[in-house]
Amino acid sequence: MTDEKPQGDEVLYEVADHVATVTLNRPHRMNAISTKMLGQLAARLEEADLDTDVRVVVLTGAGRAFCAGLDIKDAMAGTGIGGGGSGTGSGRHLGTRGHPTTVMFEMDTPVIAAINGAAAGFGLDIALGADIRLMADDAKIVTGFAKRGVVPESGGTWYLPRLLGWAKAAEIGFLGRDLTGAEAAEMGLANRSVPSDQLLATAYEWAGEIAANAPLAVQSMKRLFRHGLTEDFPSHVHHVLLQTMLLFQSDDFREGITSFAARRPPEFKGR
């Protein structure tokens, strides 16, 4: 891919083999988030979550970056997020309604972030909102919020302690050091670091394995993971039991049992 200015959509969307690929498409700005991209990203994620044919989302960036954060050039010109121009929506972009990271948290469809280059600022928050993070070994997680006098504004302060524990979250946030793919994988911030030329192939391999599983079960599992963050154990076990009873009534459950007994690969339909 080149760094030429793209035409049309700032977020690309395509579906194949039950996998939706969502691509941040402002490579000339290292996929920095504009007001337009913010809305398109939320809309594409919602579209994927509502599409019963989509079982997994792969989220990546066009060009040499994943996402460089909010577009500072636009903001300084008063036309972007954080600027004072009419394009900002009078600050409403900073609300949580229809926000991409909020949509990602509420989605039942699994999201794999294929981090192909720098993930900084808002881009890091987007990556943290994914369920699985695969990183190119030459990609970087840029955590220098404290060096800019700000905090992770779109979920990072919520995700980091839950993903890594308090001490590691403090290390990342307070020191503000860049992390390579290997370093991110070593501390558990990324699931795996792979050579850059293998990143998308690995992401689609993982997505294909997930898509081959029973989608209702995978979606229920993600939903229960999410609810479990705020539930006590007895309440959570009760909700798991209710969800399990619903899954027992599905065609996919019967297919899972039948295919296991017949020693053949299952063919799940998502119903």
Is it the case that residue 63 has pLDDT exceeding 70? Answer: yes
Is it the case that residue 72 has pLDDT exceeding 70? Answer: no
**Domain span at residue 15?**
11-211
Same domain, 134 and 242: no
Query: Structural domain tally of the chain?
Result: 2
- Starting from the edge strand earliest in sequence, which strands make up the sheet with 132-136, in order? 11-16, 19-24, 56-61, 111-115, 132-136, 192-194
What are the tens digits of pLDDT across the range 211-234?
999 999 999 999 999 999 999 999
For residues 6-26, average pLDDT = 90
Same domain, 127 and 195: yes
The percentage of the chain sitting over the pLDDT mark of 70, rounded to a whole number, equals: 85
What are the tens digits of pLDDT across the range 189-206?
999 999 999 999 999 999
Q: Residue 20 forms beta bridges with which residues?
A: 15, 57
What are the tens digits of pLDDT across the range 134-177?
999 999 998 877 677 767 677 788 889 999 999 999 998 888 88
The span from the CA of 112 to the CA of 56, in Å, is 8
The span from the CA of 63 to the CA of 84, in Å, is 29
What are the tens digits of pLDDT across the range 204-217?
999 999 999 999 99
Question: Domain with 221 in it: what CATH number?
Answer: 1.10.12
DSSP 6: P
| Residue with token string 């009078």 | 90
Same domain, 235 and 120: no
Is it the case that residue 11 has pLDDT exceeding 50? Answer: yes
For residues 56-85, average pLDDT = 74
Same domain, 192 and 232: no
For residue 84, is it within any domain?
Answer: yes
The span from the CA of 140 to the CA of 180, in Å, is 5
Is it the case that residue 19 has pLDDT exceeding 80? Answer: yes
DSSP 95: S
Question: What pLDDT was estimated at residue 70?
Answer: 77
**Would you place residue 75 in the very low, low, confident or very high pLDDT band (cuts 50, 70, 90)?**
low
Question: What pLDDT was estimated at residue 4?
Answer: 41
What are the tens digits of pLDDT across the range 99-121?
888 899 999 999 999 999 999 98
Work out the mean pLDDT of the chain and round it to a whole number: 86
Question: What pLDDT was estimated at residue 82?
Answer: 53
Phi-psi region of 231 (alpha: psi -120 to 50; beta: other; left: phi over 0): beta
Is it the case that residue 2 has pLDDT exceeding 90? Answer: no
Helix (H) or strand (E) holding 123: helix 122-129
Look up residue 236 and give its amino acid: H
- Starting from the edge strand earliest in sequence, which strands make up the sheet with 65-67, in order? 65-67, 118-120, 140-142, 179-180
Same domain, 79 and 173: yes
Is it the case that residue 74 has pLDDT exceeding 80? Answer: no
The span from the CA of 134 to the CA of 150, in Å, is 26
Same domain, 232 and 156: no
| Window from 19-28, 62-71, 141-150, 260-269 with minimum mean pLDDT | 141-150
Same domain, 18 and 67: yes
Phi-psi region of 217 (alpha: psi -120 to 50; beta: other; left: phi over 0): alpha
Residue 212 class from Cβ within 10 Å (0-12 exposed, 13-18 middle, 19+ buried)?
middle
